[in-house]
Amino acid sequence: MISHWLIGWISQLGRCLRPRADGCSCPHASAFGQRWLRLSSAAAVRMGRARRQELGVILSLSPQEVARLADLARIELSLAEQERLAGQLDVILAAVAVVGPAAQGDIRPTSHPLPLVNVFRPDVLAPGLGQADVLAMSPAQEGGRFKVPRILEEEA
Amino acid sequence: MTGLADLGAAELADLLASGQVSSVEAVQACLDRIEAADAAVGAFLHVDADRALAAARAVDARRAAGADLPPLAGVPVAVKDAFAMTGAPTTCGSRLLEHWRPPYDSSVVRRLQEAGLVIVGKTNMDEFAMGSSTENSAFGPTRNPWDLGRIPGGSGGGSAAALAAYEAPLAIGSDTGGSIRQPAAVTGTVGVKPTYGGVSRYGLVAMASSLDQPGPCARSVLDAALLHAVIGGYDPKDSTSIDAPVPDVVAAARSGDVAGLRIGVVAELGGEGYAPGVEQRFHEAVALLEAAGAKVSEVSCPHFDLALAAYYLIMPSEASSNLARFDAMRYGLRVGDDGSRSAEQVMRLSRARGFGDEVKRRVILGTYALSSGYFDAYYGSAQKVRTLIGQDFTAAFERVDVLVSPTCPTTAWPFGERLADPLSMYKADLCTIPSNLAGGPAASFPAGLAPEDGLPVGFHVMAPPLAEDRLYLVGTALERALEPSGAPLAARLVGKELTL
């Protein structure tokens, strides 16, 4: 089972390292990729399958899952796009999964390079954008307001 | 006699101040150069000659009236099309914003205008700043003036190429993972990413808000410092703006004294995967700095190996959230609104039509990394790795004053080479990403041409937060050591025929 998973992992990473079908390949990118491959594979081996599941890391996205994500992101995707993206996202997700094992232990997460504080401007009246300026770039407007398509779905 | 377009900003500013040259002449020289070269280079998305000349005339009139003008008044500048500017399109390289004209000016644009600089146009970029080659622009790629068959870097390839093609002496960029520095490296120009919060993001179209940082681009170190001084400093309109004085970058760029400066060569950023010519020029540059009095040692930053992975979780996550604003309701592209479709359906169709492949890829990747069940494994872990990278920097800066590496592992690559393979494209930013994650300033300076292909190599310098002056000290020291005449590396392109 573990060996089966490892083969899958390496073949996914290998996909990005193979010479391209048109014969055009970049020796630097490929040497680079091999270094990346070693780092990622080593990390994966260290992580182990059980831990990987516990962390919720998956290494294969189906076109259907991509379609679901596209739905959440409000982007219409063709079937061909779903399939192409599934393959590409697999490779990317496999590569970025190295953060999992590295982030074990009591490490404070950093969301921002600066300590964020609430900032207030002086409470001074100043002119804002006028209605005409705000509406000027709207795709459609009516009666001084944004005109949008209906926001309720058709009743069944 | 060289033409006015061949002069740097500092030289032009002197001629303008002494009245030997007018701003109209300087701006016209750039416009003529754009007219001659940009059909081949494609650095600009939008040039407004009439408006630029009107602004130049206004500066000339104020000077003639005896006004005390800021140092760069009348000097032309190009602005990346990610910065909002009234009276001009701001497309961010996207079909979705193709016809958008912002109702307000970004703080960077406003500061340029207040300092009397003349904006000649808006430069090309990867769509929403997502890319390392400018091939992701919806309006076609920009070409590298060193070799028109190669990429000019990205996302700010337009700004870097405009400088290398002598279409403008100064340009503005924005850097989320290397979008100022990597284009500078592959075009033989100077690019600086200031400390996060050092230059206002107000009016910069957001990609990843905790990483994005505007900065100066130029052909020489002093020119970059002069521009940095104009755009830097506290802005109440940006809640992450740092309320502290900008380090004296101009004095540092004029000095170039690196005697006693402790330089740390990052052990992890080099070796396998780096082009031989990049490594060679990098090590030569380190030796030159050592000869100029710097103390060089090797420093290990063990978590830098994880920076690319952390970045490709954090950046898409923030981008997927930021780009949610493009909903086809208030501005931007709207398609499919024929009365039969709901707002949600129109939104989906508009985003499908308006976004290119790379933007879709990153928005969906970010949506996944932030989704319930995977958040801790991906985004949460990446945030912890971000902490580890910050700790690497902190530990390193206890031993050295600056860290150095190549800017990009390779020189400019041919068009199309990495388009089908996102990971290989992403790796162009391997050396530049750690500074975005930790927030400190960093810069790329020309280090000469790689022997194997004759293309520019970038020397990357990283400093602690608010220590930008150290970047400029190193940059000027290197510039002087490499070219005693003071001519920038890109001067070798003067007179080059740029036609397809």
Residue pLDDT, tens place only, B335-369: 999 999 999 999 999 999 999 999 999 999 999 99
Q: Report yes or no on A149 lying in a domain.
A: no
- pLDDT at residue A40 tops 90: no
Q: Assess if residue A39 is contained within a domain.
A: yes
Q: What 8-state DSSP symbol labels residue B413?
A: P
pLDDT band at B165 (very low <50, low <70, confident <90, very high): very high
Q: Is B487 exposed, middle or buried (0-12, 13-18, 19+ CB in 10 A)?
A: middle
What's the pLDDT at B309?
Answer: 97
Residue A57 lies in a domain: yes
Digit-coded pLDDT (tens) for B386-405: 999 999 999 999 999 999 99
pLDDT (mean) for B293-307: 98
Q: Which domain holds residue A62?
A: 28-99
Task: Report the pLDDT value the prediction gives residue A24, as an integer from 0 to 100.
Answer: 35
pLDDT-derived band at B265, boundaries 50, 70, 90: very high
In this prediction, residue B140 has a pLDDT band, given cuts at 50, 70 and 90, of: very high
- Which residues 38-67 of chain B have a CB within 8 Å of chain A? none
Taking residues B22-49, report their average pLDDT.
98
User: Burial code of B431-440, b = ≥16 C-beta within 10 A, e = fewer?
Assistant: bbbbbbbbbb
* Partner residue facing B409 (CB), from A32, A61, A138: A32
**Percent of chain A, pLDDT > 90?**
46
Quick one: average pLDDT of B246-268? Answer: 98
Contact list in B for residue A151 (CB cut-off 8 A) is: 342-344
Q: Which pLDDT belongs to residue A43? A: 42
What integer best gives the mean pLDDT of chain B?
A: 97
Q: Is B256 left (phi over 0), alpha (psi -120 to 50) or beta?
A: left
CB spacing of B378 vs A103 below 8 angstroms: no
- pLDDT score recorded for residue A154: 64
Substitution target from B201, B240, B321, B424 for chain A, most A beta carbons within 10 A? B424
Q: Are B190 and B156 in contact (CB under 8 A)?
A: no
Structural tokens at position A2: 């573990």
Question: Residue A74 falls within a domain, yes or no?
Answer: yes
The mean per-residue pLDDT over the stretch A53-79 comes to 83
**Could you give the number of structural domains in chain A?**
1
Looking at the annotation, which residues of B are catalytic? 80, 155, 179
Q: Which residue has the higher pLDDT, A152 or B53?
A: B53
| Residues in chain B within 8 Å Cβ distance of A107 | 384, 387-388
Say which of A74, A95, A119 has its CB closest to residue B239: A119
Chain A residue with Cα closest to B208: A112
Q: Closest by alpha carbon to B397, among B465, B473, B469?
A: B465
Calculate the CA B340 to chain-centre distance: 44
Is B204 part of the contact surface with chain A (CB cutoff 8 Å)?
A: no
pLDDT in tens, B214-254: 999 999 999 999 999 999 999 999 999 999 999 999 999 99
CB B358 within 8 A of CB B131: yes
**Chain A residues 16-75 within an 8 A CB cutoff of chain B:** 16, 20, 24-26, 28-29, 31-36, 39, 55-58, 61, 66, 69-70, 72-75
Interface of B with A in 248-287 (CB under 8 A): 272-275
Band of pLDDT at residue B90, cut at 50, 70 and 90: very high
Residue from A46, A64, A75 to probe the interface with B (highest B Cβ count within 10 Å): A75
pLDDT digits (tens, 9 = 90+) for B479-491: 999 998 889 999 9
DSSP, residue by residue, B75-141 = -EEEEETTB--TTS---TT-GGGTT---SS--HHHHHHHHTT-EEEEEE--SGGG--SSSTT-TT--
pLDDT for B395-434, tens place per residue? Answer: 999 999 999 999 999 999 999 999 988 888 999 999 999 9
pLDDT at B59: 98
Distance of alpha carbon B445 from alpha carbon B190, whole angstroms? 5
| Residue pairs spanning A and B at CB distance below 8 A | 228
A19 belongs to a structural domain: no
Which residues does chain A have within 8 Å of residue B240's beta carbon, measured at their own beta carbons?
Answer: 112, 114, 116
Mean pLDDT over residues B102-123, rounded?
98
pLDDT at residue number A59: 58
Interface of B with A in 101-120 (CB under 8 A): 101, 103-104
Contacts B340 to A, Cβ<8 Å? none
In this structure, which topology does domain B4-260+441-493 adopt according to CATH?
Amidase signature (AS) enzymes (3.90.1300)
Could you tell me if residue A148 is inside a domain? no
Instruction: List, as ranges, residues 110-139 from A with C-beta within 8 Å of B.
Output: 110-114, 116, 119, 121, 129, 133-134, 136-139
Instruction: Say which of A102, A133, A151 has its CB closest to residue B306.
Output: A102
Band (A155; pLDDT cuts 50, 70, 90): low
Q: Which amino acid is at B404?
A: V
Mean pLDDT of B76-102: 97
pLDDT of A11 above 90: no
